[in-house]
Structure 1
Amino acid sequence: MKGKDNSVFLISLIVVFSISLWGILAPEGFGQVANGLFAFLTDKFGWFYLLAMFFFVIFMFGIAVSKFGQIRLGDDDSKPEYSYISWFAMLFSAGMGIGLVFWGVAEPLNHFMAPMNMEAGTSEAANFAIYTSFFHWGIHPWANYSVIALALAYMQFRKGKPGLISSIFIPLLGEEKVKGPIGKTIDILAIFATVAGVATSLGLGVLQINGGLNYLFGIPINTTVSIIIIVTVTVLFMISAVSGLDKGIKFLSNANIGLATILMILALIVGPTVMILNSLTNGLGMYLGNIIQESMNLEPFGDNSWFGGWRIFYWAWWIAWAPFVGVFIARISKGRTIREFIIGVTLVPALGSFVWFAIFGTIGINLGPEIASEAIQVTETAFFVVMKHMPYGNLISMIAVLLLCTFFVTSADSATFVLGMLSSNGDLNPSTQKKLIWGTIQSLMAFSLMMAGGLSVLQIASIAAAFPFAIVMVFACFSLLKALKEDSVNTEKSSKKIAS
């Protein structure tokens, strides 16, 4: 391995360890800095987050319907490596994963009991809850992922460049600058955002698995159980990561989709089926009818605390996840056309999220304000509190805990794979050693910060640190557009030569 290949790896390790150590040894000081920075960004730059995310949606669909949509991510004769089912399963597992189980009941019930500018617990609040959950987990986050994923897949497979975030900027900056400090800084930022984001989700996953085991089997919620859970799952995702993309991650992702489908069908049958279908239909109508207005909705003359606490928080969180999910989606998308890619990465997963929130949100809301208030007291157990009031609730909860475990493993080994790529000069098949190192660091960081009570603080810190990434992603769009225009011109010239 050349020395230059290891610089990003070593600097990233130092940055990650330093910030983790700060969060563990001085959680209060770390929390104050993180909260202060995040409050400043959401208060002063909320408008920027909203405009950036809406721009990503418009840009992606603009590219899809343009003449560039027929360009293939690879050589003109290349074919996709994975079937549609495996492709959707892997990108959905990496992009949402634990979050869906964690928030599937909790978010709609939070909006139901504390809606914006309306009375809690009413039918109006219920409609607001479903529609708002659709909006936060719909097309916007996936369009945001697509910006990095499409640009990187194009540069990797069409242009033969390394699988690094910095490669996206070759059309704008030139290859020499990208290989220098600017490119390395971009790649280090990407690694930090990935480690911080995934470590937080893994910590939350451990808390929810423990909550589910406590509800189902009376297993206590304590440090010892958390250690057992995190060690068990770490061993599982290490095995999966080491076995490679085609075996471990693909197999687990397919299992995720199977379990999630069983869970949704079972919940749809035992829940208020007609109400769920009505809720899905109404929520979709509200979503499509208001997407432009809601994309830029703020309170310029009033209190913006709701937007800061929910929408801007989510938009910033999705941007923080974009490097990790984008790199992974790019890696599994070789051979797709750009149009096929954008439709597959934005519309299909968004539809899956709509169905999920319609089912579990409606079940929770249908139980009434009293149970909703009880459920949202502790986010990680909200799902189980609601399910104990349902027929076959124990069975549904057991499947949910199993799904949490498989989502946990898939997110962790996908991230381990991506971190290995980013710290190995874009190697599409990083070494087992690098994957093991990053896997261990992720788990240790998640556990340490969980014990220090710093998980939510780390989440806020990673979101604040990801603010520059929103700017990076806007420039990524223009870099991709420049490359696509050059590609199109070259293709037209080649066609004319062949014709003559």
Structure 2
Amino acid sequence: MENVSQEIKTIRWGVFIPLFLLISSSVILGILHSNFLISLTKDFFNWSLQNFGWLYQWISMISLILVGILLISRYGHIRIGGKDAKASTSFGRWFAMALSSGVATGLITYGVNEPIIYFGNVYGELNQVGVEPLTHQAAIWSLGRVFYNWGFIPYSMYTLSGLIAAYMYYNKKRGLSIAATLEPLLGKYAQNRIIADIIDVLATMAIILSLASGLGTGLTVVVTGLKVAYGYHATTILWIFLGALTTFLFTFSSYLGLDKGFKILASIKSKVLYFLLILLFITGPTFYILRSSTAGMAIWLDNFFLWGLDPIDIGGPALTQWWTLFDWAVWVAYAPLMGMFLALIAYGRTLKEFIIVNWILPSCFALIWFSVWGGTSLYLQQSGALDLVQIIKDNGAVSGLWAFLQHLPFKLGIVIVPLILVLTLFSSAVAANSITTTIAGMCSKNVPIGEEAPSYQRIIWGVLIGSIAIIMSAFGGGSQGIDGIKYLAVCGGFCVLFIFMLQLLSIIKTFFYDKPVE
């Protein structure tokens, strides 16, 4: 009883209770009135992006510039944890953990689908950009656009949030909280319990809902794959089984801790990603991939500032609002807590190493992934071997992946389809593991620097997050229920946008006005 009592004392009730009530209320509303939830949150989401799209774009550009300056600055030698801090993992495993926690199912789901959607103008993405759909120009333009959406800008957000979190946690010996990252800017106000709790609740709520929608999206991808590849139709039992399996994976892994759980999952996932990338590059249209990706990079760089400063007026709602700004809102929603997880695993590394592993390397990996997977899908479409555009129009935005896999050369689809099904669930579990661990730390107090939160907290949040995804997908109308909580997540991300802005100012003050602690 003494141990249990001691563990209960570590709960931050000011964060735990509001979070639990808000998330539970959202789930109940989604079950009872899913159409109302979707309508309400969609309207707010549209309003936020139409009126603040310019702000998202400026923040994304500032993030990119700031992380670049920090990379080449004289503060790159500062070691996280102090001069004598020693890293406990190899460089390769560290990168595997950083990569696996950040990409979730996005690369797998949209590596094929997003370039094809642009290429075919499926939802009107090309209506305002002066590119003719279904042409070679549309193909290289599509690659350029996905390079922009998935490249250096989004990872700069994760990196900056992680950088200030790591510095404040390990070097300044502050608590594991988002409020602590704002202390250089807000001073004593960041230590005020009420202010700190409000900041942490807002940011944590946004990422819990974002993660739940991500898990739900992953379940949708798997259910679609089972239908397309094996003829299994979506049933409530299937949704619950897959959701429960994923929840068990990441909750049990989180319970085991970083060393025994997450490191193993991340290592397996990263090796599978490397294998799939190399396999498709070798067996696919290699020279087409190299040529089209090079041209795509030219399009990307040529339009970089045009796309980067477009508040919707240039590209139009179908392209800028529903793709780029939607992406930015989700990345911003994730950034504060994902950054805290990246901080937890960065002990003993220098700031320059931190930026390289969390910004440059994942961005380069994303560019290569979209070059290979996106390039191959565009080749199949242009050569007439497979009409992915029509498949997506008929079956939805994530359906192209499975038709693509079934048309791989040498009948590789027989092996790759089940592998991707497992990898999708695995990716959801790995991403959820990292966030669950961080949320548990956020809802705890009196946890020594460098140690993890009590295991029961990780179990509570793992089960709750998994339950949201299962309930919204199985009982909230399938993809419609997931849409509702996805819009809700991005609405929460709108609130986090202002917290993230304060983090940027806090970074500037810490490294360019104050004297950093080494």
Q: TM-score, normalised by structure 2?
A: 0.90
Which moves more between the two structures, 342-351 or 216-225? 216-225
Aligned to 1:414: 434
CA change 1:490–1:335 in 2 (3 A) is: closer
CA change 1:291–1:398 in 2 (3 A) is: same
What is the percentage of aligned positions where both structures have the same residue? 28
8 A contact 2:10–2:445 mirrored in 1: no
CA change 1:312–1:335 in 2 (3 A) is: same
In the TM superposition, what is the alpha-carbon distance from 1:382 to its structure 2 partner? 1.7
In the TM superposition, what is the alpha-carbon distance from 1:19 to its structure 2 partner? 1.5
8 A contact 1:56–1:144 mirrored in 2: yes
Which moves more between the two structures, 408-417 or 363-372? 363-372
Counterpart of 1:434 (choices 443, 449, 457) is: 457
Instruction: Work out the CA distance in 2 between the residues paired with 1:374 and 1:77.
Output: 58
Instruction: Work out the CA distance in 1 between the residues paired with 2:505 and 2:109.
Output: 35
In the TM superposition, what is the alpha-carbon distance from 1:489 to its structure 2 partner? 6.9
Aligned to 1:445: 468
Instruction: Work out the CA distance in 1 between the residues paired with 2:320 and 2:229.
Output: 36
Which moves more between the two structures, 373-382 or 480-489? 480-489
In the TM superposition, what is the alpha-carbon distance from 1:470 to its structure 2 partner? 1.6
Aligned to 1:180: 193
Aligned to 1:378: 396
Counterpart of 2:257 (choices 221, 244, 250) is: 244
In the TM superposition, what is the alpha-carbon distance from 1:66 to its structure 2 partner? 1.6
Aligned to 1:80: 87
CA change 1:203–1:385 in 2 (3 A) is: same
- Summarize the alignment of residues 309-328 of structure 1 with structure 2, pairs less than 5 Å apart: 309-328=322-341
- Summarize the alignment of residues 210-249 of structure 1 with structure 2, pairs less than 5 Å apart: 210-249=223-262
CA change 1:126–1:163 in 2 (3 A) is: same
Question: Tell me, which stretches of 5 or more residues in structure 2 are unaligned?
Answer: 1-7
Amino acid paired to 1:441: L
In the TM superposition, what is the alpha-carbon distance from 1:180 to its structure 2 partner? 2.2
8 A contact 1:130–1:283 mirrored in 2: yes
8 A contact 1:71–1:337 mirrored in 2: yes
Aligned to 2:423: 403
CA change 1:362–1:395 in 2 (3 A) is: same
8 A contact 1:375–1:383 mirrored in 2: no
Instruction: Work out the CA distance in 2 between the residues paired with 1:191 and 1:44.
Output: 24
Aligned to 1:60: 67
Could you give the per-residue CA deviations for residues 314-340 of structure 1, whole angstroms, max 9, x where no partner exists?
A: 111111111231111111111211122
Could you give the per-residue CA deviations for residues 50-88 of structure 1, whole angstroms, max 9, x where no partner exists?
A: 001111111111122122222221111212232221111
8 A contact 2:312–2:321 mirrored in 1: no
8 A contact 1:85–1:254 mirrored in 2: no
Question: Is 2:196 the partner of 1:196?
Answer: no
Q: How many residues align?
A: 491
Could you give the per-residue CA deviations for residues 213-236 of structure 1, whole angstroms, max 9, x where no partner exists?
A: 334433332221111111222222
Instruction: Work out the CA distance in 2 between the residues paired with 1:57 and 1:485.
Output: 17
Aligned to 2:511: 484
Instruction: Work out the CA distance in 2 between the residues paired with 1:302 and 1:86.
Output: 40
Amino acid paired to 2:442: L
Amino acid paired to 1:378: G
Instruction: Work out the CA distance in 2 between the residues paired with 1:17 and 1:488.
Output: 43
CA change 1:276–1:8 in 2 (3 A) is: same
In the TM superposition, what is the alpha-carbon distance from 1:309 to its structure 2 partner? 1.3
Aligned to 2:444: 424
Instruction: Work out the CA distance in 1 between the residues paired with 2:327 and 2:352.
Output: 26
In the TM superposition, what is the alpha-carbon distance from 1:402 to its structure 2 partner? 2.2
Instruction: Work out the CA distance in 1 between the residues paired with 2:189 and 2:131.
Output: 56
Question: Tell me, which stretches of 5 or more residues in structure 1 are unaligned?
Answer: 492-500
Could you give the per-residue CA deviations for residues 116-162 of structure 1, whole angstroms, max 9, x where no partner exists?
A: 43211100100111111111110111001112111100000110111
Instruction: Work out the CA distance in 2 between the residues paired with 1:284 and 1:303.
Output: 22
Which moves more between the two structures, 90-99 or 44-53? 90-99
Aligned to 2:278: 265
Which moves more between the two structures, 201-210 or 250-259? 201-210
Could you say what secondary structure the match of 1:68 adopts? Answer: coil
Instruction: Work out the CA distance in 1 between the residues paired with 2:135 and 2:13.
Output: 57
Which moves more between the two structures, 128-137 or 63-72? 63-72
Q: TM-score, normalised by structure 1?
A: 0.93
Question: Is 2:66 the partner of 1:38?
Answer: no
Which moves more between the two structures, 142-151 or 274-283? 274-283
Instruction: Work out the CA distance in 2 between the residues paired with 1:426 and 1:250.
Output: 25
Could you give the per-residue CA deviations for residues 172-221 of structure 1, whole angstroms, max 9, x where no partner exists?
A: 22245433221111100122112101101111111212222334433332
Instruction: Work out the CA distance in 1 between the residues paired with 2:22 and 2:442.
Output: 15
Could you say what secondary structure the match of 1:259 adopts? Answer: helix
8 A contact 2:406–2:414 mirrored in 1: yes
8 A contact 1:417–1:435 mirrored in 2: yes
Amino acid paired to 1:464: C
Aligned to 2:371: 358
8 A contact 2:157–2:332 mirrored in 1: yes
CA change 1:176–1:309 in 2 (3 A) is: closer
In the TM superposition, what is the alpha-carbon distance from 1:357 to its structure 2 partner? 0.9
CA change 1:278–1:302 in 2 (3 A) is: closer
Amino acid paired to 1:399: L
8 A contact 1:94–1:414 mirrored in 2: yes
In the TM superposition, what is the alpha-carbon distance from 1:404 to its structure 2 partner? 1.1
Runs of 4+ in structure 1 over 6 Å off: none
CA change 1:301–1:190 in 2 (3 A) is: closer
In the TM superposition, what is the alpha-carbon distance from 1:490 to its structure 2 partner? 7.0
Instruction: Work out the CA distance in 2 between the residues paired with 1:490 and 1:364.
Output: 49
Aligned to 1:471: 498
CA change 1:303–1:253 in 2 (3 A) is: closer
In the TM superposition, what is the alpha-carbon distance from 1:256 to its structure 2 partner? 0.7
Counterpart of 1:337 (choices 344, 350, 357) is: 350
CA change 1:46–1:487 in 2 (3 A) is: closer
8 A contact 2:251–2:462 mirrored in 1: yes
Counterpart of 2:381 (choices 368, 380, 385) is: 368
Amino acid paired to 2:445: N
Aligned to 1:497: none
CA change 1:301–1:325 in 2 (3 A) is: closer
Amino acid paired to 1:188: V
Could you say what secondary structure the match of 2:445 adopts? Answer: coil
8 A contact 1:233–1:409 mirrored in 2: yes
Counterpart of 1:139 (choices 152, 159, 171) is: 152
8 A contact 1:267–1:396 mirrored in 2: no
In the TM superposition, what is the alpha-carbon distance from 1:286 to its structure 2 partner? 3.3
Question: Is 2:26 the partner of 1:26?
Answer: no
